[in-house]
Amino acid sequence: MTEKKIMSFEVSSDAAVGDIISKDRKQKEKKLKVGILPLSWFEWWLMYPDTDMEKIIREDGKKFVSKMKEYYGGKYDLVSPDEIVDTLDMAFDVGEMFAEAGVDVVVTDEATYLTDFIPIEVLEHLPDVPVIIFATQATENLSDSMTNRDAIRYSGLVGNAQLVGAFKKMNRKYKVVVGSLEDENSFIKVGKHLSIIDLIRKLKKVDIGLLGHTFRGMYDIEIDKTKIKGVFGPNVLYLDVTHMIEIWEKLEDNEIDEFIANLKKEIPIPLEIATEEDMRKSVSVGIAVEKLIDRFGIDALTILGQHHVEVSTRASADFAFYCAEKKNCITTHEGDLANLVMKYILHYISDGKLPVFLEWTAFDKKTDSMLLTHHGVVDPVEHASDMSKARWTPSMEKWDYTGYGLSVEYCSKPGKVTLASIINEANGWKILVSTGECLELPQKPSFAPQFNFKHDKYEVTEYIQKVLDEGVAHHVCLVYGDYSEELKLYADYIGVKYVEI
């Protein structure tokens, strides 16, 4: 019997191939491991042996560990010593423990002043692990009756200043969060750092599919996949349209019928101008894309419909984006890899919200807003301001398909939003971010989702002037909520220029 050889995903339909990590292995991914490091100094106990100072300071350290477990014990794998670390021997042992556990990040808490060699000894065992210095103290405010022993209890800032001074000499990178153990917001800030570190780790395991190529003539979004991998982490797989067509040609009528029946229940809006046959053709492409995602186990997908998928199927590809994102596979159009990464980032830092892929479209002086839109179906249930006005329509742009195609038309809901894009320039990468709000305006019969953005600060034409002066690609991503702080933190961690307008 001839042994079956492993093959490439390019030519094999087997679950196991030689050039994609299999789904079962990706699903084994472990939680972020966080080393929790409460610190103090043995010398203090010798100075005040007949007081309760040691007990109180040890309780402060336990409170730090307890609070971290309360906030993040369910989300991350927390590793901590049983007691506050106050000697070099303990530091050595905890450093070994952290190294053996494989911690991904260490959060320090100096409950009092201590010499810098204690935390440095722990970190000697973890030379490349990020460090978050939680510059904290027991309470928000100081008592007017503070004694010298109380001053020692609150002297962690001295130790933190000493530690960062040593780190600067040693070229050891670190981040800082300042706040008391009573301050919920300070723990939330620590959590934002942990989230970004986890995001950076996860991005290295993300598989992106490029179905087709970048739209011809869009130099602004042409990207070398090696640059994507090197800076942001994801792997890029070049998928051929034949991979999808092979699936599409084998679709059964009953699975298309069942999909359409469920779609009409989930999105009960009228079909206007476009026909049932247009919907059927578009749905068939969407189902094929769903199965393509399953076959290759990809986490994000950019599709070139124009002059590519639509040539092979003679059906609009616009609905396929909706289908992919229903499978939790982030999408962009026209081969835009950089903003596919940005959409993944926004999806992660927003705890699973669905970001939208749009174009800078036009401005409206009377409402001081800018219209952002794009062809492609974006879930109206999640984004429409008024579902009673939403409708299925022909596709916004007439490319290579027969019939009308299929799109969805609505005006987006109002609310705080973040605009963000990743841009590749001659001297490297930058992340461009703006915050503002989406306005609920009259729905235009434009056969597309409509997001009307009003900037927090600038008049609309002044804002556009600033964006174009800064330099931007013609695509942009939008997510509801203000995530500018998280994006700035992410850019800082990976060493990419951050620009906020």
The helix (run of H) or strand (run of E) holding residue 428 is strand 428-439
Q: Which CATH number fits domain 33-202: 3.40.50.460, 3.40.50.2000, 3.30.200.190, 3.40.50.10940?
A: 3.40.50.10940
311-331 per-residue burial string, b: 16 or more CB within 10 A, e: under 16? ebbebbbbbbbbbbbeeebbb
Length of the chain: 501
Query: CB within 8 A of 410, min separation 6: which ones?
Result: 380, 383, 384, 385, 386, 387, 389, 390, 391, 443, 449, 450
Per-residue pLDDT of the chain (501 residues; tens, 9 = 90+): 567 777 777 777 777 776 777 777 777 778 999 999 999 999 998 998 888 989 999 999 999 999 999 999 999 999 999 999 999 999 999 999 999 999 999 999 998 999 999 999 999 999 999 999 999 999 999 989 888 888 889 999 999 999 999 999 999 999 999 999 999 999 999 999 999 999 999 999 999 999 877 777 777 778 889 999 999 999 999 998 999 999 999 999 999 999 999 999 999 999 999 999 999 999 999 999 999 999 999 999 998 877 788 888 999 999 999 999 999 999 998 889 999 999 999 999 999 999 999 999 999 999 999 999 998 889 999 999 999 999 999 999 888 899 999 999 999 999 999 999 999 999 999 999 999 999 999 999 999 999 999 999 999 999 999 999 999 998 999 999 999 999 999 999 999 999 999
How large is the angle between the packed helices 337-349 and 484-494, nearest 10 degrees?
A: 120
- 257 conformational bin, left if phi > 0, alpha if psi -120 to 50, beta if neither: alpha
pLDDT of res. 1: 57
pLDDT at 29: 75
CATH of domain 204-500: 3.20.14
What value, to the nearest 5°, has the Cα angle with vertex 328 and ends 332 and 437? Answer: 60
Within 10 A of 60 (CB to CB), how many other CB atoms are there? 23
Measured distance between the N- and C-terminal CA atoms of the chain, rounded to whole angstroms: 66
- List the 235-239 sheet strands across, edge first: 235-239, 207-211, 300-303, 330-333
To the question of pTM greater than 0.85 for the whole model, the response is yes
Distance (Å) of CA 52 to CA 114, 159, 168, 199 = 19, 22, 36, 43
How many C-beta neighbours within 10 Å does residue 471 have? Answer: 12
Going from N- to C-terminal start, the domains of the chain cover: 33-202, 204-500
User: Residue 2: its pLDDT value, please?
Assistant: 65
